[in-house]
């Protein structure tokens, strides 16, 4: 078996609005569209992903919140109805997914070897969280690849953002090691928004784009600063300022997804591709990709 | 009205695995004791707030009459599944939604098949109300809500109880200290995460056992800082809000112990007016929610922008005529109600001294049946007028203390003012309402004194 590797990683936020706006057959509510710039961003990400060869999707989701360690889905097939507890009016989605249990078990072992708290979720009645489902749907609506879902173990963030981030970085390393060891070609998704201050009311028509804007200019400035570092391939610097960003932009990075992704990718120094940025109910969201074949080729060309 | 209040923990270990740790079993017994109290309370509704149902868009209220699913906890999936079939009062959910909107909140009753009801709600309803004997109403916890907004939410719940005439027990699903072991532990090793958390929990329980519900609501921010409070203590704000924001309760800690390191307690609170200790208000009263919270610079606080929201908000469900029972207030002598709630105020009709049901006039009427003037006691009439007003206001959920303006009518200023004024002083000296007193030639019934007041709702 050849050595596995991470072929691509993406910041793949999960506002249910994006699935709602698209009207896929799996989702029950119907819309008149909306949030096109972000949805076009996902479209472009999908085009680039179509050029890469990957056989499994790993997703770290802020909406599988665990406080007892890092949990991994470990049931081969999971299906059911996912209803968003915050936006049940927008997202009631029938899902059916395959899980790469072998890879999940390898991550479990690699995590334990690094003294991380690891658990396998083996209850077949478990309802997969909507963050995982939305990011997977938007990256790969065909659902033709198995997934591995990693919970957001946010406990260490309760102590400090730095401690939380450190844990996530170790989990990222464990993830990479498990992928290499099992020979997988993996796509990694960090399912999170950037700045994350929501509006707390909703317009009558949720997709009324005349009502959509970032909650606060300060949030926007922070988002742009973070995106600029991604574009310039300065991801180690990004890790350094991430605790402050998390605090000041009230960012969903507090749940660890982005730190996990950057660590798993070993802090890429090639420029990330920014596919789209937009606000969803006031929060800042970017679709950003680190695709090894494209990124490293660009770096080579620019030399 | 609310008959009892309860605090119960949300981590579902007492439901899923009471046999794995004696503390978990004790907590389960605490739930069972609370269940017995609720059974004989005469309640017709369980009104529940859960910190595990985290909301972003305003506050959602469960409006599905029969939610049904097989739930698995995000952390404790290895301890088994939680199938549920619950009974919700969908009409009450609608009334609560309307009352919330009336107070400027973004409340929303939701009814969707497969809606993910949280572990804390499931545990509470299955252990407190196992056969669905009572219907429930469940409201979520907004992660951005400050104390003012959470109290307004509680007041909206009380409005809805008044509007529907329901008697409820209020249940707050929340941890005390909320630090947990960030790992899988052997259940038999469970203990409080730290001695510090344990001490803070015990301090809180001491206050609760003393019935000091409002005091707990006021200190919960500090508690949350020190002991990592669950959702910053929002459930305690809500509970004190629905219980009337005072300290007149008798509390019982039915159980206390660790759940994965967090502080878990089952506490029961029953009204005990005689124990009502003084309370201290360090923050202004708030009746309506004024929109966006001041989380970011430039945000408005709930209080500051309240009038604008009140103006924009639809009419409260409880607005309108208040007809006090004939057992409590003299019957009207025309086509008018005893009082009318409008916005934040209750406008009371002119009220005389006639006694409820009998029409008897304390101190005697001013004329005999044949119309001849007779001697009467103006002081006794004044006292009866004020007592009637008190009964009407209290029945409407307000009180004499809440009176802001008072108009007084005497048929003989020269004869009666001194006696009237002395009785008035006894009641109103501490209230300091504005007052206007005028002499009128006659009143519709043979009485010498009538008063008309405006009070805060
Ligand atoms: Fe999210």
How far is B64 from A195, CA to CA, in rounded Å? Answer: 33
Interface contact B183-A121, CB threshold 8 A = no
- Could you read off the pLDDT of B287-323 as tens digits, one per residue? 888 765 443 333 334 333 333 333 333 333 344 778 7
- Could you read off the pLDDT of B36-82 as tens digits, one per residue? 999 999 999 999 999 999 999 999 999 999 999 999 999 999 999 99
The dihedral through the CA atoms of B148, B149, B154, B157 has a sign that is: positive
pLDDT recorded at residue B457: 87
pLDDT recorded at residue A187: 98
How far is A290 from A188, CA to CA, in rounded Å? Answer: 10
| Among chain A residues, CA nearest to B110 | A88
Residue A43 in contact with partner chain B when CB distance is under 8 A: no
pLDDT recorded at residue B336: 84
pLDDT recorded at residue B325: 78
pLDDT recorded at residue B285: 76
- Could you read off the pLDDT of A150-160 as tens digits, one per residue? 999 988 887 88
In angstroms, the separation between the Cα of residue B139 and the nearest Cα of chain A is 12
Percent helix / strand / coil, chain A, rounded to 5? 40, 25, 35
Parallel, antiparallel, or unpaired: how do β-strands B59-62 and B45-55 relate?
unpaired
Q: How far is the CA of A131 from the centre of ligand 1 (A)?
A: 7
How far is A83 from A90, CA to CA, in rounded Å? Answer: 9
How far is B398 from A89, CA to CA, in rounded Å? Answer: 38
When mean pLDDT is compared across B24-38, B192-206, B427-441, the lowest value belongs to B427-441
In angstroms, the separation between the Cα of residue A240 and the nearest Cα of chain B is 24
Q: What is the CATH number of the domain that holds A187?
A: 3.40.830.10
Confidence class of residue B274 from pLDDT cuts 50, 70 and 90? confident
Interface contact B180-A126, CB threshold 8 A = no
Average pLDDT, chain B: 90
Ordered by start, the domain boundaries in chain B are: 2-293, 315-456
Q: Are B152 and B287 in contact (CB under 8 A)?
A: yes
Place of tokens 């700045």: A195
- Could you read off the pLDDT of B188-246 as tens digits, one per residue? 999 999 999 999 999 999 999 999 999 999 999 999 999 999 999 999 999 999 999 99
In angstroms, the separation between the Cα of residue A161 and the nearest Cα of chain B is 15
Q: Shortest CB distance from A117 goes to which of B60, B118, B183?
A: B183
Q: How far is the CA of B402 from the centre of ligand 1 (A)?
A: 44
pLDDT recorded at residue B337: 86
- A118 has pLDDT over 60: yes
Residue A129 in contact with partner chain B when CB distance is under 8 A: yes
pLDDT recorded at residue B397: 86
Token pair, residue B232, equals 């910053």
Average pLDDT over residues B400-428: 94
CA angle B447, B452, B453 (to 5 degrees): 150
- ipTM here: 0.93
Interface contact B55-A81, CB threshold 8 A = no
- Could you read off the pLDDT of A22-71 as tens digits, one per residue? 999 999 999 999 999 999 999 999 999 999 999 999 999 999 999 999 99
For the stretch A159-166, contacts whose Cβ atoms lie closer than 8 Å and that sit 24 or more positions apart, written own/partner, are A160/A243, A161/A242, A161/A243, A161/A246, A161/A247, A161/A254, A162/A243, A164/A254, A164/A256, A164/A259, A165/A239, A165/A242, A165/A243, A165/A256, A165/A259
How far is B231 from B248, CA to CA, in rounded Å? Answer: 25
Token pair, residue A49, equals 């992903």
Question: pTM for this one?
Answer: 0.78
Token pair, residue A299, equals 């770096």
pLDDT recorded at residue A90: 97
Q: How far is the CA of B381 from the centre of ligand 1 (A)?
A: 65
- What topology is assigned to B315-456 in CATH? 60s Ribosomal Protein L30; Chain: A; (3.30.1330)
A38 vs A203 pLDDT, higher one: A38
Residue A213 in contact with partner chain B when CB distance is under 8 A: no
pLDDT recorded at residue B238: 98
Token pair, residue A18, equals 């994006």
Which residues does residue B373 pair with via DSSP β-bridges, in sequence order? B367
Q: How far is the CA of B69 from the centre of ligand 1 (A)?
A: 23
> Which CATH superfamily groups domain B2-293?
LigB-like (3.40.830.10)
Domain residue limits at A182 = 5-301
When mean pLDDT is compared across A81-85, B91-95, B345-349, the lowest value belongs to B345-349
Q: Is residue A94 classed exposed, middle or buried when 0-12, 13-18 and 19+ CB atoms within 10 A define those classes?
A: middle
pLDDT recorded at residue B396: 86
How many structural domains does chain A have?
1
In angstroms, the separation between the Cα of residue B165 and the nearest Cα of chain A is 30
Interface contact B75-A155, CB threshold 8 A = no
In angstroms, the separation between the Cα of residue B142 and the nearest Cα of chain A is 9
pLDDT recorded at residue A297: 62
Phi, psi of B202 (to 5 degrees): -65, -35
Residue A215 in contact with partner chain B when CB distance is under 8 A: yes
């Amino acid at each position: 078996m050849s050595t596995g590797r991470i072929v691509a990683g993406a910041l793949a936020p999960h506002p249910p609005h994006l699935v709602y706006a698209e009207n896929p057959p799996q989702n029950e509510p119907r819309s008149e569209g909306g949030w096109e710039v972000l949805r076009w961003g996902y479209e472009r990400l999908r085009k680039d992903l179509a050029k890469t060869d990957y056989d499994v999707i790993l997703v770290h989701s802020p909406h599988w919140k665990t406080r007892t360690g890092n949990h991994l889905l470990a049931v081969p097939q999971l299906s059911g109805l996912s209803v968003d507890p915050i936006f049940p009016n927008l997202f009631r989605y029938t899902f059916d997914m395959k899980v790469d249990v072998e890879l999940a078990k390898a991550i479990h072992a690699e995590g334990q070897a690094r003294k991380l708290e690891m658990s396998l979720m083996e209850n077949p009645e478990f309802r997969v969280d909507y963050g995982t489902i939305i990011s997977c749907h938007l990256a790969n609506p065909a659902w033709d690849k198995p997934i591995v879902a990693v919970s957001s173990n946010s406990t260490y963030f309760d102590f400090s953002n730095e401690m939380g981030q450190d844990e996530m970085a170790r989990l990222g390393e464990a993830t990479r090691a498990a992928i290499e060891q099992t020979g997988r070609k993996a796509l990694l998704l960090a399912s999170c928004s950037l700045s994350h201050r929501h509006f707390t009311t909703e317009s009558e028509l949720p997709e009324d784009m005349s009502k959509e804007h970032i909650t606060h200019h300060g949030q926007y400035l922070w988002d742009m600063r973070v995106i600029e570092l991604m574009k310039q391939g300065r991801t180690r610097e990004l890790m350094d300022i991430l605790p402050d960003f998390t605090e000041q932009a009230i960012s969903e990075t507090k749940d660890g997804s982005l730190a996990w992704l950057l660590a798993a990718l070993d802090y890429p120094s090639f420029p990330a591709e920014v596919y789209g940025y937009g606000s969803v109910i006031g929060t800042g969201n970017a679709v950003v990709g680190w695709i090894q074949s494209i990124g490293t080729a660009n770096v080579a060309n620019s030399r | 009205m609310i008959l009892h209040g309860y605090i119960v923990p949300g981590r579902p270990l007492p439901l899923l695995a009471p046999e794995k740790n004696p503390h978990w079993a004790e907590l389960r017994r605490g739930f069972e004791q609370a269940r017995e109290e609720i059974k004989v309370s005469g309640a017709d509704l369980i009104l529940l707030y859960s910190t595990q149902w985290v909301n972003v868009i305003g506050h959602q209220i469960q409006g599905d009459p029969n939610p049904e699913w097989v739930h698995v906890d995000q952390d404790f999936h290895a301890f088994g599944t939680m199938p549920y079939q619950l009974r919700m009062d969908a009409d009450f959910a609608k009334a609560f939604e309307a009352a919330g909107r009336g107070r400027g909140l973004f409340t929303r009753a939701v009814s969707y098949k497969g809606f993910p009801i949280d572990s804390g709600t499931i545990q509470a309803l299955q252990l407190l109300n196992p056969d669905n004997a009572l219907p429930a109403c469940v409201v979520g916890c907004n992660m951005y809500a400050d104390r003012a907004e959470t109290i307004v939410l509680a007041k909206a719940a009380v409005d809805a109880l008044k509007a529907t005439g329901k008697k409820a027990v209020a249940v707050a699903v929340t941890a005390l200290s909320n630090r947990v072991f960030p790992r899988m532990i052997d259940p038999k090793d469970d203990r409080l995460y730290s001695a510090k958390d344990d001490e803070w929990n015990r301090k809180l329980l001491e206050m609760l056992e003393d019935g000091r519900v409002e005091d707990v609501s006021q200190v919960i921010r500090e508690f949350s800082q020190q002991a990592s409070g669950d959702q910053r203590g929002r459930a305690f704000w809500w509970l004190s809000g629905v219980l009337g924001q005072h300290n007149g309760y008798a509390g019982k800690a039915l159980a206390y112990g660790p759940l994965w390191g967090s502080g878990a307690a089952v506490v029961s609170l029953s009204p005990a007016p005689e124990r009502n200790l003084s309370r201290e208000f360090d923050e202004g009263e708030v009746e309506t929610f004024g929109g966006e919270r001041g989380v970011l610079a430039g945000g408005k606080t709930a209080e500051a922008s309240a009038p604008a929201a009140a103006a924009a908000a639809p009419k409260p469900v409880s607005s309108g005529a208040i007809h006090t029972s004939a057992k409590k207030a003299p019957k009207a002598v025309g086509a008018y109600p005893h009082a009318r709630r409008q916005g934040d105020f209750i406008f009371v009709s002119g009220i005389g001294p006639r006694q409820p049901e009998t029409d008897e006039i304390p101190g005697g009427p001013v004329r005999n049946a044949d119309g001849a003037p007779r001697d009467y006691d103006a002081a006794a009439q004044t006292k009866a007028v004020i007592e009637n007003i008190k009964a009407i206001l209290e029945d409407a959920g307000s009180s004499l203390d809440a009176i802001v303006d008072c108009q007084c009518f005497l048929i003989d200023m020269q004869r009666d003012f001194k006696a009237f004024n002395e009785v008035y002083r006894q009641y109103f000296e501490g209230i300091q309402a504005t007052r206007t007193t005028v002499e009128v030639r006659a009143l519709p019934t043979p009485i010498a004194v009538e008063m008309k007041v405006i009070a805060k709702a």
